[in-house]
Amino acid sequence: MHDCLMSESLALRSSLEIEAKVRLRAGVVEDRAGALGARTDVDRARIMGIGRETLRRWREGTPQMPGKARRAASRLGVTVDELFEEAA
């Protein structure tokens, strides 16, 4: 079981560790968290299982930790690839 989780973590890490910076797709967060009752960034972060500062950093393109990114995506009902986009 540990090997399975390790493989999944490595696959997620490689999908996030691209040369270009990635940032949070704000529209996805607004839509999905809004559907779950979020009205503020504190609400959005709570629903995603992250801190408000992490939410802010992700919007700015700070690298994500795979576990947090996977949890946030799962809690919003999307994939990690749907939650993040390549930053310009």
Burial (0-12, 13-18, 19+ Cβ within 10 Å), 45:
buried
Spatial distance between the Cα atoms of 50 and 54, rounded to a whole number of angstroms: 6
Q: Is the dihedral of CA 62, 83, 67, 3 positive or negative?
A: negative
**CATH code: domain of residue 64:** 1.10.260
> Considering its fold, how many domains does the chain have in total?
1
How many CB atoms sit inside 10 A of residue 82's CB? 13
Q: Which residue(s) pair with 23 in the sheet?
A: 85
Domain containing 30 equals 2-86
pLDDT for residue 4: 44
pTM for the structure as a whole: 0.74
pLDDT for residue 63: 79
For each of the chain's 88 residues, which pLDDT tens digit applies?
A: 444 444 454 445 545 444 457 899 999 999 999 999 999 999 999 999 999 999 999 999 887 788 999 999 999 999 999 999 987 7
